[in-house]
Amino acid sequence: MRENIIESARFAPARGKYKVFILDEVHMLSGASFNALLKTLEEPPAHAIFILATTELHKIPATILSRCQRFDFHRVPPAEMIPRLQKIAEAEGVAVEAGVLASIARLSEGCLRDAESLLGQLFALGEDTITAKEASLVLPETNLGVVMALTDAAAAKDIQTVLRELNAFVDDGGSVKYLIEELLEYVRTMMFSALGFTDKAAYDPQTLERLAASSTVMTADGARRLLDLLLAARTRQSLSAFPQLPLEIALVEFCADASASIKSPSPVVPMPPVVPSTPKSVVATPQPVPAVKKYDFETPSSSPLVRGSNAGESPLLTKEGLGEVAFTLEEIQNKWGRCVEYVAERNVAIPLIMKNAKPTAIEGNTVVVSCEYVFHADAISDGKNRRLIEDAIEHVMMAKALVRAICENRPEEKTAVDEFVSAFGASAA
């Protein structure tokens, strides 16, 4: 630093008016180098100009930042990049398809230098007209057709088509890692399209029409759910012996999840109008007092304090003070996967048990969950685990409910008589 820059900055330029020093990735300098440069930046020579370039501004010491004029450069959006690339192509006398320019803008990720470099590689082909076929020789091959087929089949919950398309892609030697990246980008755009926001410069007109049609089938919440599964698949993909396995699990799980279903008009049940009660004046009329016989008292055993079966009485509440649940069995079954997700964010073991269990009945204020194994039912019935599942139901269904776990195949318990008889090799009639 001292020999190459600081000492050289003291001397006037042999040609020209200024000496320009460009320090790229300046955040990589050590603390001693910054200290040596600080004095020169405080009192720079009149003929010296320092340009400090960095992508990690937070690593630059505050003493250096305070002595610099700051210019922030942002990513160039596709809507501004494509006209620039089109202008360069016209100046070179080469006709480039709009879809190719859109692919370049998408692959460059907002960096105009990278976009111009890719366009220059296409010009090196020596063609007067560059179509998608010629561009595939230079640009990374896009799997947009496979991506659209997979997302359409996933939105329609067609598991067989999803697996067939994915296996055909793998058999053709396609990269599953790159396919996941393209799926993430496409489903993200689909989610934005379902919300009414679409970057029209990111894809060609035919793809935009396909996106608009897909967004009418898959809800924004369904696209969000698919993005979560794809992100998890990308994380697990490097750890799997079969590269396509995490993606297969993600797509199958999405197709089997009824909570992320396709759009379908559901009947809206109108709520009964609430009529506010108005206080009315009540005239108290004297009632005849029945005569009470002497010693005419009932014993406590013959007069229970609460009888829930009597007509006109309110239902008996549990210790939690809950009435009947405010949702149906079909609704909790459809959103059981959402409850599993909620629990998975707070517990590791219970979601694995919940995936093998299912709500089978609603009894008053209690959701009955059937398990295949006894120890699964015991784990759900544990106080801490049960409260966590009840919190999940309240969060997803917007209504409180209790949870009771049962085992479908629980063996019948033997009575003392049965054990005594079996011990002597006999049988009870």
pLDDT at 304: 39
Residues in the chain: 429
* 154 assigned to some structural domain: yes
Which residue would you say has higher pLDDT here, 320 or 40? 40
Of 44, 65, 86, the residue at which a domain comes to its end is 65
* 286 assigned to some structural domain: no
Say whether both 60 and 90 belong to one domain.
no
pLDDT at 204: 61
pLDDT at 197: 74
Q: How far apart are CA 325 and CA 339, in angstroms?
A: 16
Q: How far apart are CA 246 and CA 238, in angstroms?
A: 9
The pair of structure tokens assigned to 343 is: 């629990």
Give 422's pLDDT tier (boundaries 50, 70, 90): low
Q: How far apart are CA 232 and CA 61, in angstroms?
A: 37
Instruction: Give the CA radius of gyration of the chain.
Output: 36
Average pLDDT in the 302-326 region?
A: 47
Of 260, 293, 312, the residue at which a domain comes to its end is 260
Q: β-strands 19-23, 358-363: how paired?
A: unpaired
* 420 assigned to some structural domain: no
- For the chain, give the mean pLDDT: 78
Q: How far apart are CA 233 and CA 239, in angstroms?
A: 10
Closest among 325, 82, 133, 332 to 340, alpha carbons compared:
332
Q: How far apart are CA 235 and CA 240, in angstroms?
A: 10
Q: What is the domain extent for residue 180?
A: 144-260
- With tokens 């040609």, the residue in question is 15
Question: Could you count the other beta carbons within 10 Å of the beta carbon of residue 353?
Answer: 24
* 418 assigned to some structural domain: no
CB contact set of 186 (below 8 Å; sequence gap of 6+):
144, 147, 148, 151, 211
Closest among 72, 31, 65, 30 to 50, alpha carbons compared:
65
Residue 108 class from Cβ within 10 Å (0-12 exposed, 13-18 middle, 19+ buried)? buried
- With tokens 């490097």, the residue in question is 238
Contact 82, 119 (CB under 8 A): no
With residues binned 3-state (H G I as helix, E B as strand, rest as coil), the percentages for the chain, rounded to 5, are: 50, 10, 40
CA 161-164-169 angle, to 5 degrees, is: 125
Say whether both 152 and 209 belong to one domain.
yes
Relative orientation angle of helices 220-237 and 245-256, to the nearest 10 degrees: 160
Which residue would you say has higher pLDDT here, 19 or 288? 19
* Per-residue pLDDT tens over the stretch 34-76: 888 888 888 888 899 999 999 898 999 999 998 899 998 888 8
Q: Which residues of 20-54 are buried (b: 16+ CB within 10 A; e: fewer)?
A: ebebeebbebeeebbeebeebbeeeeeebebebee
Pick left, alpha or beta for residue 318 (phi over 0 → left; psi -120 to 50 → alpha; otherwise beta): beta
* Per-residue pLDDT tens over the stretch 216-239: 677 888 889 999 999 999 988 888
Sheet with 366-371, strands from edge to edge, namely 358-363, 366-371, 402-407
Say whether both 89 and 108 belong to one domain.
yes
Domain count, the chain: 4
Question: Could you count the other beta carbons within 10 Å of the beta carbon of residue 284?
Answer: 5
Q: How far apart are CA 314 and CA 318, in angstroms?
A: 12
Instruction: Give the CATH number for residue 241.
Output: 1.20.272.10
Contact 417, 428 (CB under 8 A): yes
* 86 assigned to some structural domain: yes
Of 228, 260, 292, the residue at which a domain comes to its end is 260
* 88 assigned to some structural domain: yes
Say whether both 61 and 83 belong to one domain.
no
Residue 304 DSSP symbol = -
Q: How far apart are CA 63 and CA 51, in angstroms?
A: 16
- Least-confidence region, from 44-58, 279-293, 331-345: 279-293
Residue 193 has pLDDT above 90, yes or no: no
pTM above 0.75, yes or no: no
pLDDT at 175: 86
* 227 assigned to some structural domain: yes
Average pLDDT in the 273-290 region?
A: 48
* Per-residue pLDDT tens over the stretch 92-148: 999 998 888 888 888 888 888 899 999 999 999 888 889 888 888 888 777 878 888
Say whether both 126 and 214 belong to one domain.
no
Amino acid at 408: E
Closest among 146, 138, 202, 199 to 174, alpha carbons compared:
146
Say whether both 113 and 174 belong to one domain.
no
Say whether both 109 and 199 belong to one domain.
no
Instruction: Give the CATH number for residue 340.
Output: 3.30.300.180
Residue 4 DSSP symbol = I
Residue 297 has pLDDT above 50, yes or no: no
Instruction: Give the CATH number for residue 39.
Output: 3.40.50.300
Residue 375 has pLDDT above 80, yes or no: yes
Average pLDDT in the 196-204 region?
A: 63
* 31 assigned to some structural domain: yes
Share of the chain above pLDDT 70, in %: 75
Q: What is the largest CA-CA distance in the chain?
A: 128
Average pLDDT in the 186-195 region?
A: 84
Amino acid at 204: D
Q: How far apart are CA 223 and CA 226, in angstroms?
A: 5
Which residue would you say has higher pLDDT here, 245 or 320? 245
